[in-house]
Amino acid sequence: MNKNPVPDPFRGMTRQMELPFKILSSRDNATYKHIKSLRQAKKAHAAGLILIEGFRQVEEALSAGIQPQWLIASQAAQAHERWPALQVLAKTCFEKNAYECVLLDSRLFESLSATPSPQGVAIVAPSPLVSSPAGNPDERGLYLVLEGIQDPGNLGTMIRTADAFAFKGVILAGPTVDPFGDKALRSAMGSTFHLPIFQFPSIWEAKNWLASSQIPLVAADLSGETITRSTVLTSPAAVAIGNEGGGLSSEALALADRRLKIAMPGQTESLNAAVAAAILCHLFTLGRPEFE
């Protein structure tokens, strides 16, 4: 008889939890393999799912009403100071619509994670991305239109900016980096779950949707009208920002109801896409009645 057995790190743990966790200990487990496959954007899109990792991101998602299909936790997560609050949120969601709770050892979670030092908590949930919405946009709203954005950090930052200035939504036009990828989510700091993200195949479809509520498309363009103190910028409007390297497409510029240039008296020729978006979003926010 072994007098010094190897301690089981999970022993008694499930009895202490308020959620019905199932322990997974093998990389070959079908559920584990499926969850890990969602790190590949194509597979996640095909399944209509997103993988959200980290305490802040998971808390923001659950607080915003995202209903998970899986809650994944590691041993380390149980000892984290934010675990009790997260468990309350998770339990509230579970009472509304039961989902699977999976407990992994730290080794398996590290293999699943996209970060070098994971916090040990994640959820899998249906993607909230709205593709070609049927309803009309808010006829008094401000929207941020992003065409061909390829840097996830820029995309996340611009989503956060739209949230900060109370825009009604972010519109992705054409091929754009995944807004629910790990880096984009971290850059957005939870804002991805605060406002709707719309996806259109092209800027043409996005323009048609905006036109249904007579919302003008305003393009950021180095050849456009320079913004001065006398420039009138009011809502409704859809502020369009283009690809980091090439800017907006010729089609987007042709469809624009107005083209605006941010005055740059310095020596640089252009601004980072996220910086340009922040300046324009702020200026349009100042045009709202409450700031007059």
The model's pLDDT over 221-262, given as tens digits with 9 standing for 90+, comes to 999 999 999 898 999 999 999 998 889 999 999 999 999 999
Is residue 226 in a domain? yes
State both tokens at 208.
Answer: 């048609």
Residue 7 lies in a domain: no
- Residues 92, 177, single domain; the answer is no
Domain identity same for 143 and 117: no
Residue 3 is assigned to a structural domain of this protein: no
In a domain, 2, yes or no: no
Same domain, 153 and 266: yes
Q: Is 169 helix (H, G, I), strand (E, B) or coil?
A: strand
Write down which residue in 126, 151, 173 finishes a domain: 126
Q: Is residue 195 part of a domain?
A: yes
What is the radius of gyration, based on Cα positions, of the chain? 22
Indicate whether 179 and 36 sit together in one domain.
Answer: no
Residues in the chain: 292
Tens digit of each residue's pLDDT (9 = 90 or more) over 92-148: 999 999 999 999 988 899 988 888 888 999 999 999 999 878 789 999 999 999 999
Residue 230 lies in a domain: yes
Q: Do 143 and 232 belong together in one domain? A: yes
- Clarify whether residues 134 and 118 are in a common domain: no
Q: Which of 95, 126, 157 is the last residue of a domain?
A: 126
Choose the final residue of a domain: 101, 126, 151: 126
Sign of CA dihedral 171, 173, 177, 180: positive
Tokens at residue 194, please?
Answer: 């605060």
The H-or-E segment that residue 123 falls in is strand 121-126
Listing from the earlier edge strand, what are the strands of the sheet with 237-241? 130-131, 197-200, 169-173, 142-147, 237-241, 217-226, 258-261
- Which amino acid, residue 226? T
Question: Is the confidence at residue 86, as pLDDT, over 70?
Answer: yes
The DSSP call for residue 264 is -
Domain count for the chain, please give it.
Answer: 2
Q: Is the pLDDT of residue 1 over 50?
A: no
Q: Cα 22 vs. chain centroid, distance in angstroms? A: 28
Element housing 121 (H / E): strand 121-126
Distance (Å, whole) CA 212 – CA 218: 16
Query: Are residues 112 and 200 located together in one domain of the fold?
Result: no
Count of CB atoms within 10 A of residue 149's CB?
A: 25
Residues 34 and 93 in one domain: yes
The pLDDT confidence band at residue 83, using thresholds 50, 70 and 90, is very high
**Domain of residue 94, CATH code:** 3.30.1330.30
- Weakest-pLDDT range from 127-136, 198-207, 270-279: 127-136
Which is it for the CA torsion 261, 267, 269, 270, positive or negative? negative
Residue 5 lies in a domain: no
Query: So what's the pLDDT on residue 193?
Result: 94
134 with 264, same domain: the answer is yes
Tell me the helix, strand and coil percentages in the chain, rounded to 5: 35, 20, 40
Encode pLDDT of 153-174 as tens digits: 999 999 999 999 999 999 999 9
The rounded distance, in Å, linking the Cα atoms of 142 and 234 is 9
Which pTM does this prediction carry? 0.88
User: Domain with 173 in it: what CATH number?
Assistant: 3.40.1280.10
In a domain, 6, yes or no: no
CB–CB of 220/252 below 8 Å? no
> Cβ contacts of residue 12 below 8 Å, gap of 6+?
none
Shared domain check, 63 and 149: no
User: Which domain covers residue 29, as residue numbers?
Assistant: 13-126
Task: Name every residue whose Cβ is closer than 8 Å to that of residue 78 and which is 6 or more positions away in sequence.
Answer: 13
Q: Same structural domain for residues 91 and 138?
A: no
Q: Are 206 and 181 in contact (CB under 8 A)?
A: no
Residues 22 and 41 in one domain: yes
Q: Is the peptide bond before 9 cis (omega within 30 degrees of 0)?
A: no
Q: Which of 291, 224, 209, 215 is CA-nearest to residue 259?
A: 224
Sign of torsion, CA 240 246 251 255? positive
